[in-house]
């Protein structure tokens, strides 16, 4: 038995070192590719997440604005409902007032017609009274003219066709004044 040593060739060792270097280089390239891929993916994901976050914030702001507009619209709608109720009440009151005013107007028209008829009757009575008054005045004048001759003219005045003056004072005939009478014919300027 003896001890045998046989050295290995450098070629195998060199190939092994090259293989190790190649394997390490391949692993480094693989890790670089994985890091590149993961980096790009993470960057894309981060960008996508940032974009989604911006969209989410914009959507949240829009929702807040829409909610405010909705609240304003609901407030306006509630005011309109309240005003509509008030307007309906006012319309009902107005309708009642209109009916009452119509009744008052009808009564007023009836009273106007009654007063017109009464006015027409009074006008007719006034005309009748005026006619009667005029007739009474003419009768009074005729009575006065026919009474002056026997009072102010003598028998001689009648025969001589004398003209005498006369007047009515305090309801009595006096034989002096502005009026004249022809004692023969009885004609007077009264």
Could you report the per-residue pLDDT of 147-163, keeping only the tens digit for each?
Answer: 898 999 998 988 999 99
Mean pLDDT of 117-142: 89
Tell me how far apart the alpha carbons of residues 175 and 151 are, in angstroms, rounded to a whole number: 8
Q: What is the percentage of the chain residues whose pLDDT exceeds 90?
A: 22
Instruction: Give the whole-angstrom CA distance, residue 16 versus residue 22.
Output: 9
Give the model's confidence band at 82: pLDDT under 50 very low, under 70 low, under 90 confident, else very high.
Answer: confident
State the pLDDT at residue 6.
60
Question: Which band of pLDDT confidence, cut at 50, 70 and 90, is reported for residue 80?
Answer: confident
Given the structure tokens 């006015």, which residue do they identify?
A: 119
Confidence (pLDDT) at 13: 47
Mean pLDDT of 58-79: 89
What pLDDT was estimated at residue 5?
Answer: 59
Q: For residue 168, which phi and psi values (nearest 5 degrees)?
A: -110, 120
pLDDT computed for residue 17 by the predictor? 75
CA distance 68 to 57: 16
Structure tokens given for 105:
């107007």
d(CA 33, CA 101): 97
Q: For the segment 38-47, what is each residue's pLDDT rounded down to a tens digit?
A: 888 877 777 7
164 or 146: which leads in pLDDT? 164
Q: Give the predicted TM-score (pTM) of the model.
A: 0.41
pLDDT band at 179 (very low <50, low <70, confident <90, very high): very high
**In whole numbers, what is the pLDDT of the chain averaged over residues?**
85
DSSP string, 60-90: HHHHHHHHHHHHHHHHHHHHHHHHHHHHHHH
* Cα–Cα separations (whole angstroms), residue 108 to 94, 115, 126, 127, 169: 20, 10, 26, 28, 52
CB 168 within 8 A of CB 178: no
The answer on pLDDT for 8 being more than 70 is no
Q: Within 10 Å of residue 144's Cβ, how many Cβ atoms?
A: 16
Q: Are 183 and 149 in contact (CB under 8 A)?
A: yes
pLDDT for the residue numbered 95: 86
Cα separations in angstroms, 103 against 95, 99, 100? 12, 6, 5
Q: What is the mean pLDDT of residues 164-169?
A: 92
Q: Report the pLDDT value the prediction gives residue 2, as an integer from 0 to 100.
A: 59
CA gap 154, 148 in Å, rounded: 11
């Amino acid at each position: 038995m003896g001890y045998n040593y046989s050295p290995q060739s450098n070629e195998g060792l060199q190939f092994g070192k090259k293989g190790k270097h190649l394997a390490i280089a391949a692993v480094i390239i693989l890790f670089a590719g994985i890091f590149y891929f993961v980096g790009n993916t993470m960057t894309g994901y981060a960008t996508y997440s940032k974009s989604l976050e911006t969209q989410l914030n914009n959507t949240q702001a829009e929702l807040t604005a829409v909610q405010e507009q909705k609240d304003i619209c609901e407030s306006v709608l509630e005011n309109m409902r309240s005003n509509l109720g008030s307007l309906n009440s006012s319309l009902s009151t107005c309708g009642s007032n209109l009916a009452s005013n119509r009744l008052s107007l009808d009564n007023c028209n009836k009273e106007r017609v009654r007063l017109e008829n009464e006015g027409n009757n009074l006008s007719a009575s006034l005309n009748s009274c005026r006619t009667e008054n005029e007739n009474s005045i003419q009768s009074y004048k005729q009575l006065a003219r026919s009474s002056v001759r026997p009072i102010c003219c003598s028998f001689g005045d009648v025969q001589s066709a004398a003209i005498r003056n006369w007047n009515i004072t305090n309801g009595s005939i006096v034989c002096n004044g502005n009026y004249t009478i022809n004692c023969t014919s009885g004609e007077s300027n009264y």
